[in-house]
Amino acid sequence: MKPRHAPDSRARRLRRLVDGLIALQALLAIRRYRRAVHASAGAQDPRDSRMHSAQTKPEVKPLKTFAWAWLGLLVLLAFTVGSAFVNLGAANTAINLLVSVVMMLLLMTLFMHESKARRLTQLASAAGLLWVVLMIGLSLADYLTRVHIPAPWS
């Protein structure tokens, strides 16, 4: 559309700029549209779903994970044996047991499917551990708080 007033060069330049922007915007819109069409077609493409469902083997962890876990377990073993030779008093046993717990968690989370198990399965394993902790905890609550009271005649 032609402007009513005679366009000076500045107005014409502005006009050209606006036209250019509109064209660019249209171009981008078309590209976006094409991309969207392509994507939605891809999602519904039967070939894609066939590729997805052609799975013939369950997913597995890479071998590197197994190697690192093995190395980790052996390093933890070396650490726990080494720490036993440093006199730390009661902390020696605490460190040994802590290392054992770390080893156990490493196995449980990586290879015993605990991290993706059903809640009920996790509950069964947690119940076993909780029982052991309760039993040892309550036994210690008794034995550690006993006071030796000699009989009056002894």
Would you tell me which residues interact with another protein (CB under 8 A)?
49, 52-58, 60-61, 63, 66, 69-70, 73-74, 77, 80-81, 84-88, 92-93, 96-97, 99-100, 103-104, 107-108, 111-113, 117-118, 120-121, 124-125, 127-129, 131-132, 135-136, 139-140, 143-144
**Nearer Cβ to another protein (25/93):** 93
Are 96 and 84 spatial neighbours (Cβ–Cβ below 8 Å)?
yes
What is d(CA 104, CA 36) in angstroms, rounded to the nearest whole number? Answer: 49
Comparing CA positions, the residue from 109, 116, 106 lying closest to residue 69 is 106
**Nearer Cβ to another protein (60/151):** 60
> Which residues have C-beta within 8 Å of that of residue 15, sequence separation ≥ 6?
3, 7
**Nearer Cβ to another protein (24/67):** 67
